Amino acid sequence: MKRAASPTYIVTLPISASVEDERQLCGRLLAGTRLYNATMREALRRLDLMRQTKDWQAAGTLKNKERAAAFKALIKQFAFESASLSAFATQCKNAAGWRDRLSAHETQRIAETAFQAAEQYSFGKRGRPRFKNAKRPLKSFTAKSAGSGLKYRAELGVVEWSGLVLPVKYPPARKDAWLDEALKAETKFCRLLWRNVKGRRRWCVQLAQKGLAPIKTDHTTIPGQEVGLDVGPSTVAVVSEIGADLLGFCPTIKHPWQEVKRIQRAMDRSRRATNPHCYHANGTWKKGAKVKVVSKNYQDLRRQYAESERKLAAERKRSQGELANAVLRLGNIVKTEKLSYRAWQKQYGKSVKVKAPATFVNELQRKAERAGGEFVKLNTRVLKMSQFDHVSGEYRKKRLSERWHLLGGVREGAVTLVQRDLYSAFLALCATENEHHDCQLRERWPIVKELLEQASWCRQLEVASGGTIVLPTVKPSERLAC
């Protein structure tokens, strides 16, 4: 879906669906799934035919405007366009007799989704798109406007869609001030979707409201104040002139590794018992084999596993939102390094799966920009904040196990010891246009140093000649204290 031209935010409300409503909605889901597959098949057919032509091969050898013009002519010749595929989807819907199930707007939205997936594949930005099936069903229907097709009737508190009237569940009056304020905005369009909660399908409606999302009163921020971050796989260091601390990502999450392992092993035993044709005599999987039999016990185990992952995602979202709000209370101009979170997935797989640092960074960026601030991504290779020392002006590589930084290097007498991640966050705070200026570093360091000393993240040690330094242990905090 294209990005909205004007600011938009989403309000999600649950829906009360009766048994008959559930039956009709499931029928429309099946119709939407088949329509999506038909449109996707037609889009891929046109793309394959276009790629087989000699004109396509010749266009790839051209440059600049000639190349773009050649590809544009091919796209128009083979009708590999959103409007053409939308017309094809409408013809399929009418031929199948689904006029009472899907309106023109939902049909066009389904066709646009299929075309965008095929278009991204044609650009090489994603793999070949897959078709929907029982394991990957269609999960939502989206309207194109608020006045036709799938409609939200605020005065009646219902969602209307081609003869269906679905009541919306609201919280008690004046219990959620944010929701009361959000529902006053104009609704651009709405989306009907379902989620699997405790093994049951739960329906809800998402309202795309016009404007900026209301700000809760307890999430106020200091405009113009800068905050430096150093994001790690499981921790984040936060430094500003009014607060500094090293925090752990999602401290409330306790992943049930043993329980998940038990469920996965039980699923594997059940799958092997009901599908022996998929395995060799030594127990390895046969390439190209397909699971044909799924027992009820396997389905129950799969629901248990899905429910555990759903709870984990919900608690992670809540905890990361709380952490993002705590960071924004220190300032709305956030500075941090631009990192490769995909590389972290390979090196710290389990930690990244549970903590999801990239999701936190995206959420923090969205909230900072909503608060009228800015989210600055610094160049990691240029600044080298994990190696730089502003006292000596030198760069020194550290092992991953070195969690403390000796300010000014090792020398006899008094030595300043500062936690490595927090010092990197301080350097990010002082960075301007991917550069460090000595005057700014020396001006801000005494203020930040006092904050770090109060939290025991910066210490003064006396080192005798030839003596060794005993480094303290690092235990991240659970809450940010300003």
Task: Sheet containing 244-248: give its strands across.
Answer: 244-248, 235-239, 226-231, 333-337, 374-378
Report the pLDDT value the prediction gives residue 251, as an integer from 0 to 100. 87
In 3D space, the residue among 91, 165, 99, 106 whose CA is nearest the CA of residue 138 turns out to be: 106
SS3 299: helix
H-type alpha helices, 194-295? 257-274
Report the pLDDT value the prediction gives residue 79, as an integer from 0 to 100. 94
Calpha distance 406→412 (Å, rounded): 12
What does DSSP say about strands 394-395 and 140-142: parallel, antiparallel, or unpaired?
Answer: unpaired
Longest dimension (CA), the chain: 89
- Domain coordinates in residue numbering, the chain: 1-16+140-214, 18-136, 220-272+303-482
What does each of the 482 residues of the chain score in pLDDT, given as a tens digit?
556 678 899 999 999 999 999 999 999 999 999 999 999 999 999 999 999 999 999 998 898 899 999 999 999 999 999 999 999 999 999 999 998 888 899 999 999 999 999 999 999 999 999 999 888 889 999 998 888 789 999 999 999 998 899 999 999 888 888 899 999 999 999 999 999 898 889 999 999 999 988 887 666 778 888 999 999 998 999 999 998 999 888 888 888 999 999 999 999 999 999 999 999 999 999 999 999 999 999 999 999 999 999 999 999 999 999 999 999 999 989 999 999 888 999 889 889 999 999 999 999 999 998 888 999 999 999 999 989 988 888 898 988 888 888 887 666 567 888 999 999 999 999 999 889 988 999 999 999 999 998 888 888 877 655 556 666 776 777 666 55
- Strands of 232-308 (E only): list them: 235-239, 244-248
Name the residue type at position 317: K
- Residue 347 burial (CB count, 10 A): 9
SS3 15: strand
Burial (0-12, 13-18, 19+ Cβ within 10 Å), 302: middle
Supply the pTM of this predicted model.
Answer: 0.83
Tokens, residue 464: 């005798």
What are phi and psi for residue 328, nearest 5 degrees?
A: -70, -20
- Strands of 198-255 (E only): list them: 200-210, 226-231, 235-239, 244-248
Tokens, residue 107: 């049909």
Report the pLDDT value the prediction gives residue 217, as an integer from 0 to 100. 67
